[in-house]
Amino acid sequence: MTVSKPGLVILTGAGISAESGIRTFRSSNGLWEEHRIEDVATPMGFKRDPHLVQRFYNERRKQLSQTLPNTAHHALVELERAWPGSFLLVTQNVDDLHDRAGSQSMLHMHGELLKVRCVSCDTVSRWETDVLPDSQCPACKAADKLRPHIVWFGETPLDMEIIYRSLETCDYFAAIGTSGHVYPAAGFVQCVGSDCHTTEINLEPSVVNSAFKECRHGPATETVPAWVREMLSRR
């Protein structure tokens, strides 16, 4: 007799990092850390004022060094380690809190704050300090060619093929701390099979909450560890 191993896909958004001290995107009238999203999170914004955009992400990198993963990030690591089937964590977050907590099977679909991409040779490099006008690409040594390795509005998210393949075959899908405003992530709940159990875990109902079979509302540091305990007791 073969025992089927349940597949689990988890999508996270800014809400899971909120209690670590990183502000969510839509918490203050569309302003993100006092900037319009169009100015700091679009290719046009970067073309218009690259120095403003670099300063903005330099600040975000600095802020990241003062934060720590919270109990929700840690609970997902515990779940990954004990889960008997396939496991994939897809995060929209560009912070490294899942990485620091110890998540392994994880994709950063919107890029990573601690990486830069050279617009000249396309190499992606780890970058933990400020990007300055004379910063050189570690691979091709070109100066002033580095951009944040962030998927901006109008650009294609990363690893979509792997993500869609996992969604099509998973038995459980959970979306944690995401408002459901940004596609394609907001549409993942529609990509799973009809037998898949779907759970939304968010501070409040997201704009796509009616697409989920189950919704749990409250702060991630409480709701996520409780949900993980239940998932593990179901094994």
Give catalytic residue positions.
110
Q: Which two tokens stand for residue 233?
A: 């007791």
Check residue 37 for interaction with ligand OAD (CB under 6 A): yes
**Nearest distance from C-beta of residue 26 to ligand OAD, angstroms:** 4
Looking at the Cβ atoms of 14 and 77, the one nearer to ligand OAD is 14
- Least distance to ligand OAD, CB of residue 6, Å: 24
Nearer to ligand OAD, 7 or 91 (CB): 91
Q: At residue 230, what are phi and psi to the nearest 5 degrees?
A: -65, -45
Torsion angle of the four alpha carbons 219, 67, 94, 81, in this order, in degrees rounded to the nearest 10 = -70
Helix (H) or strand (E) holding 43: helix 43-48
Question: Cis ω on the peptide bond leading into residue 43 (within 30° of 0)?
Answer: no
Residue 170 CB, nearest distance to ligand OAD (Å)? 20
98 binds ligand OAD (CB under 6 A): no
Contact flag: residue 122 with ligand OAD (CB under 6 A) = no
CB 95, min distance to ligand OAD, A: 10
Strand order through the sheet with 146-150: 124-126, 111-118, 146-150
Which one among 163, 220, 228, 231 touches ligand OAD, defined by CB under 6 A? 220
| Window contacting ligand OAD (CB under 6 A); options: 16-24, 60-68, 163-171, 227-235 | 16-24
Cβ burial, residue 129 (10 Å; 0-12/13-18/19+)? exposed
Residue from 101, 174, 206, 227 touching ligand OAD (CB under 6 A): that is 206
| Centroid of chain to Cα 56 | 19
Single-letter amino acid, residue 210: S
Q: Among all residues, whose Cβ is closest to ligand OAD?
A: 15
Q: How far apart are CA 70 and CA 19, in angstroms?
A: 7
Nearest approach, Cβ of 223 to ligand OAD (angstroms)? 7
- The single residue among 107, 132, 182, 211 that binds ligand OAD, judged by CB under 6 A, is 182
| β 197-202/172-176 pair status | parallel
Residues that bind ligand OAD (CB under 6 A): 13-15, 18-19, 24-26, 37, 41, 92, 110, 150-152, 177-179, 181-182, 202-204, 206, 219-220
